[in-house]
């Protein structure tokens, strides 16, 4: 599987040179979505938690990039280190608070953070740093030596980070820590009896999820060159959850599929809807969730297992 994943990422990088910049721009968005959904796979699929705070984490990453560019002399690439640290710290703190409670309380705590974050950005005491309602601007980073266009460079950068994230997440899931998380997800009492610190384990994975989502937000801010409070609203959290459920929350492959769905399904529906695109989009999402409870990745995995069993 490592060979398959490696070949897939190399092929994606090579194919990017066959398309014009505006197509590469769209695929870069899909890769950024996939990085964010990778964090939700760890949080929701592996550890069994639930949150609506992903819009806030995404915004923390975006504002990390904007603040570095606007208020410091550091290069924009330093935000790629700062954003995951900020996201991990916020996610770990949220996990410490919410991990002790049931899933509905976790959702409400995450919802409170998602609602409060845009308001915090408009707070008068810090609006000179955040830009208030006007937001902040930053330039798209250029490739070293200008050997590539900015859009193609950002795509390759995001794809490289996604590859690293997939490798780390796969190793985590297959490790002893991953088995502890799965045990805590299935039965907290039994996991505690086996020596698993359930609250700490949930807090750590919440931090990792926050780091992934913040990194995606940082890349998104670099791509669009702007951050503002209205871009990190509650609807963004729900949108990510839709991508997670449709792609498949129990495997890292589901994050990649979900990223592609979030990026390209609205375009397909807009061409078919003829004025009813929003309604058609909602119907397709509901139908996909009902027909594929484990997402597209789960459905593909079942088909492959059946084929291997039926083959002589």
pLDDT in tens, 185-241: 888 888 888 888 888 999 999 999 999 999 999 999 999 999 999 999 998 998 899
Q: pTM of the predicted model, to two decimals?
A: 0.93
Q: What pLDDT sits at residue 44?
A: 92
**CA end-to-end distance (rounded Å), the chain:** 22
Q: Give the domain extent around 72.
A: 2-232
Q: How many domains does the chain have?
A: 1
Q: What pLDDT sits at residue 311?
A: 58
Q: Which DSSP symbol is given to 227? A: E
Main-chain phi, psi angles of 124, to 5 degrees:
-60, -30
- Separation of alpha carbons 185 and 191, rounded Å: 9
E strand or H helix at 136, and its extent? Answer: strand 136-137
- Which ranges of the chain have pLDDT less than 70? 1, 271-278, 309-312
Separate counts of helices (H) and strands (E) for the chain: 14, 2
> CA 147 → CA 21, 143, 144, 170, distances in Å?
14, 6, 7, 33
Q: Which DSSP symbol is given to 144? A: G
Q: What pLDDT sits at residue 274?
A: 63
The 10 Å CB-count burial string (b at 16+, else e) for 72-94 is eeeebeebbebbbebbbebbbeb
The 10 Å CB-count burial string (b at 16+, else e) for 286-295 is eebeeebebb
Q: What pLDDT sits at residue 307?
A: 77
Q: What pLDDT sits at residue 144?
A: 79
The answer to whether residue 135 sits within a structural domain is yes
The answer to whether residue 92 sits within a structural domain is yes
The answer to whether residue 69 sits within a structural domain is yes
The answer to whether residue 254 sits within a structural domain is no
Sign of CA dihedral 50, 99, 36, 185: negative
Q: What pLDDT sits at residue 273?
A: 61
Q: Parallel, antiparallel, or unpaired: how do β-strands 226-227 and 136-137 relate?
A: antiparallel
- Separation of alpha carbons 86 and 81, rounded Å: 9
The answer to whether residue 175 sits within a structural domain is yes
Contact assessment for residue 114 and residue 231, using Cβ atoms and an 8 Å cutoff: no
> Angle at the Cα of 190 (from 189 to 193), degrees rounded to 5?
90
The answer to whether residue 63 sits within a structural domain is yes
Main-chain phi, psi angles of 226, to 5 degrees:
-155, 145
The answer to whether residue 292 sits within a structural domain is no
The answer to whether residue 200 sits within a structural domain is yes
């Amino acid at each position: 599987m490592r060979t398959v994943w490696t070949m897939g990422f190399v092929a994606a990088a090579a194919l990017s040179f066959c398309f014009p910049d505006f197509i590469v721009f769209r695929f870069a968005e899909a890769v950024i979505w996939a990085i964010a959904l990778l964090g939700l796979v760890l949080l929701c699929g592996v550890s069994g938690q639930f949150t609506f705070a992903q819009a806030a984490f995404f915004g923390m990453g975006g504002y990390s990039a904007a603040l570095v560019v606007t208020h410091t002399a550091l290069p924009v690439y330093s935000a790629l280190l700062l954003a995951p640290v900020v996201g991990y710290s916020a996610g770990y703190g949220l996990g410490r608070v919410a991990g002790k409670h049931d899933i509905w309380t976790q959702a409400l705590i995450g919802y409170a953070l998602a609602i409060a974050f845009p308001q915090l950005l408009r707070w008068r005491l810090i609006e000179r740093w955040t830009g208030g309602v006007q937001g902040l601007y930053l330039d798209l980073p250029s490739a070293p030596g200008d050997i590539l266009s900015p859009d193609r460079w950002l795509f390759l950068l995001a794809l490289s980070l996604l590859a690293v994230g997939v490798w780390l997440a796969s190793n985590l899931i297959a490790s002893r820590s991953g088995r502890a998380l799965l045990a805590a997800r299935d039965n907290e009492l039994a996991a505690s009896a086996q020596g698993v610190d359930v609250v700490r384990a949930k807090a750590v994975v919440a931090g990792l999820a926050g780091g992934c989502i913040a990194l995606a937000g940082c890349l998104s801010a670099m791509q669009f060159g702007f951050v503002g409070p209205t871009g990190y609203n509650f609807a963004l959290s729900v949108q990510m959850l839709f991508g997670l459920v449709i792609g498949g929350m129990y495997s890292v492959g589901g994050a990649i599929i979900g990223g592609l769905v979030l990026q390209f399904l609205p375009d397909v529906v807009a061409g078919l809807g003829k004025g009813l695109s929003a309604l058609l989009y909602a119907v397709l999402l509901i139908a996909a969730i009902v027909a594929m409870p484990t997402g597209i990745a789960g459905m593909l995995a079942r088909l492959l297992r059946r084929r291997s069993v039926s083959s002589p």
